[in-house]
Amino acid sequence: MSPGSVQRTSALIAWRLLPAVPFAIVLVAWMAFWVIFKPNRATLPPVSDVVEVVWTRALDGDLLQHILASLWRLFLGAAVGIVTGIAGGFVAGLYRRVSDFLNPLIVFFNAISGIVWLPLMIGWLGIGTALAVFLIWNTVFFIVFQNTVLGVQLVPEVYEQGIQALGGGRLETIRTVTLPGALPYILTGIRSGLGFGWRALIAAELVGAPNGIGQMIFAAADYHRSDIIIAGCLIIGCIAIAMDRWILAPIEQRTIRRWGLIIDVAKEN
Amino acid sequence: MTASTAAPALAPRGSGLVAAVMSALGGLKILLPFALLTAIWWAIKIEAQLSDQILVSPAAVWNAFIQLASHGVLAEYASTSLRMIGISTVISMAVGVPIGFAVGVNRTAAHALEGFLRFLQSISGIAWLPLAIIWFGFSQTTTLVIVIYSLIVPIIFNTMVGVRAIPENYALALRSLGAGRLRLVTDVYLPGALPSIVVGLRLGMGYGWRALIAAEMLVRQGGLGDLIFGARTFNQIDRIITGMICIGCLYIIIDRLIVQPIENLTVARWGLLRK
């Protein structure tokens, strides 16, 4: 191997490792802070405590139970939210009158989507999965709905007319033109909706659930176990990143490649 | 008879009248769905004979609103929330945008920090709330820290992305014409990144407002979240619904009257984002 290529590969490795640097800096600063100032363990635990708590909780299955409880709620709420959001979005997107009529309601209820419903819904649904599922549904629905409406409305009418001129019926037109055309928008909506939904779930679990990751960290606050809180926060971040990177981003990418351009509207909410 | 004499007199102002009627109809069109919803709500309340512990009538909500508003309670809770989101937004913009710029102009720094910022954005502010309560107690500082965290990460991230997305040629062109660093920032980077910054602000507002309400519920130091969560303890459904309506209206006002005009302005001015 020539010295030049060695240099190039090492530069490439350095470039690959670069994103890890901020994490390493925070870790080192945290350790240094702990060594120098010796803070109260309840205020800021040493890194080793956090690692240990993840390790022991992972071993006794406790952690997995909380994570599974949270993911199950997210799955239920998101599934219902996506299905109702797409269905409603198609109806509103295809019938101008419906969307005109519903629009003020959508704007208003979107403004109070999610956690704002918690106090009212605790009374109606009690504490538990139903409450969390409702809050996630509520959050996901509006984002998916709005993106679906936009996607459906932006499909050029010429394409629809083209299919109709060739003798396609209404359903045929929706299946072959409107759905594929709106799909990139719908997927952006789902991706952004899940981001908001995951946040709503954690917030809901803080007070409105007997278990789950959110409840784990909130219960830990009562005993001033900041090691559990920090561990929980890191796990929350890892799960969200993993979901986005390995499930949602690939699906979205594939759709973009298949059907073309995507415009960033998801962040409109 | 009177009608026929009145008609010619009205004719010259006919267009004004039509416009007035049209705008009244427009207002009606917005209110109609809400009127329908209220009617359904009232019908359910009466037909199902629900007790006030489960659902109150719209009239009860109206009474609660009048009561809260006339005692100044509502204004106090609402102004606490508004002050919080206002202070957080100003601090987040003032700190986040310069950081985003500093990181964005440097390719290495941007690459290094992108993953870290993504990770932070994935941990919602509310997840840090228990830790913030341990550190800062049940105080407004806790709420403020959580809301700023929720707001600032998307702002830094999108500022950075916006700066990175500017074609380097623009900066090079200006520099070859002898522009200094400051000119480069004001003439290339700022206008180029602004649409993306506004996207970040809007997303941050979405996260921040929800984090604010949730934090207020748990910290219980004033604010509309405190109002509706406190009302839960005494099962005052009328107060909860009043608070929810206020939260919705306030968010719409913030979004429509402040964030959206800024966005429209940047779009009109620089035409990069599409609606």
Contacts of B111 in chain A (CB under 8 A): 15, 18-19
Q: For residue B96, give how far its alpha carbon lies from the nearest alpha carbon of chain A (Å).
A: 17
How many structural domains are present in chain A? 2
d(Cα B248, Cα A184) in Å, to the nearest integer?
29
Query: Could you tell me if A27 and A148 lie in one domain?
Result: no
B215: amino acid identity, one letter: A
Which residues 6+ apart lie within 8 Å of B49 measured at CB?
none
Per-window interface: B 107-166 vs A, CB < 8 A? 108, 111-116, 118-120, 122-124, 126-131, 133-135
| Tens digit of each residue's pLDDT (9 = 90 or more) over B205-215 | 988 999 999 99
- CATH domain B58-270 topology: MetI-like fold (1.10.3720)
Stretch B119-138: mean pLDDT: 92
Same domain, A70 and A100: yes
pLDDT at B268: 61
- Chain B nearest C-alpha distance from A218 (Å): 6
- When pLDDT is averaged across residues A120-129 and rounded to a whole number, the result is 90
pLDDT tens track for B244-268: 999 999 999 988 887 777 777 776 6
Asked if A116 has any chain B CB less than 8 Å from its own CB, the reply is yes
Instruction: Specify the higher pLDDT residue, A106 or A256.
Output: A106
pLDDT of residue A259: 61
A56 or B270, greater pLDDT: A56
Q: pLDDT value at position B52? A: 83
Best CA proximity match to B192, nearest among B222, B169, B224: B169
A265 confidence band (pLDDT: 50, 70, 90): very low
Taking an 8 Å cut-off on Cβ atoms, the answer to whether A267 and B128 are in contact is no
Question: A61 and A78: one domain?
Answer: yes
Q: Are A133 and A256 in contact (CB under 8 A)?
A: no
The pLDDT score that the predictor gives to residue B10 is 41
Cα radius of gyration rounded to whole Å, chain A: 24
Contact yes or no for B196/B161 (Cβ under 8 A): yes
Same domain, A33 and A126: no
Which range has the worst mean pLDDT, A26-30, A96-100, A114-118? A96-100
Domain carrying residue A10: 1-38
- Does the beta carbon of B247 lie under 8 angstroms from any beta carbon of chain A? yes
B13: left (phi over 0), alpha (psi -120 to 50) or beta: alpha
A window 192-211, beta carbon within 8 A of B: 195-196, 198-200, 202-203, 206-207
A125 and A84 belong to one structural domain:
yes
Q: Could you identify the residue written with the tokens 């990181």?
A: B103
Decide if A42 touches B, using CB distance below 8 A. yes
What value does the mean pLDDT take over residues B128-145? 93
Would the pLDDT of A172 be above 60?
Answer: yes
Provide the mean pLDDT of chain A.
Answer: 87
Q: Is the dihedral of CA A133, B147, B257, A153 positive or negative?
A: negative
For residues A191 and A253, membership in a common domain is answered with yes
* Shortest CA distance from A23: residue in chain B: B116
* pLDDT tens digits along B166-217: 888 888 888 888 888 888 888 888 888 888 898 899 889 988 999 999 999 9
Q: Determine the pLDDT at residue A98.
A: 87
Q: What is the CATH number of the domain that holds A71?
A: 1.10.3720.10
Inter-chain CB proximity B108 and A207 less than 8 Å: no
Q: What is the ipTM of this complex?
A: 0.85
State chain B's mean pLDDT as an integer. 85
Q: State the distance between the two ends of chain A, measured CA to CA, in whole angstroms.
A: 53
- Contacts A–B by Cβ distance under 8 A: 161
B247 closest CB neighbour out of A22, A42, A112: A112
Average of pLDDT values for B42-48? 90
Q: Is the pLDDT of residue B89 over 90?
A: yes
The pLDDT value recorded for residue B6 is: 39
pLDDT at A78: 95
Task: Nearest by CB to A224, from B32, B134, B207: name it.
Answer: B134
Q: Chain A: give the shortest CA distance to residue B126, in Å.
A: 6
Quote the CA–CA distance of A239 and A245 in Å, as a whole number. Answer: 10
Name the pLDDT band for B8 (thresholds 50, 70, 90): very low
Q: How far is B198 from chain A (nearest CA, A)?
A: 10
Q: Tell me if B122 and A240 make a contact (CB, 8 A cut-off).
A: yes
* Residue B175, both tokens: 């520099």
pLDDT digits (tens, 9 = 90+) for B106-117: 888 999 998 899
A181 and A110 both lie in a single domain: yes
Whether A160 and A141 share a structural domain = yes
- Measured CA to CA, the distance from residue B50 to residue B57 in angstroms comes to 9
Does residue B11 carry a pLDDT above 50? no
Q: Taking CB atoms and an 8 Å limit, are B123 and A234 in contact across chains? A: yes
Q: Are B205 and B151 in contact (CB under 8 A)?
A: yes
pLDDT band at A5 (very low <50, low <70, confident <90, very high): confident
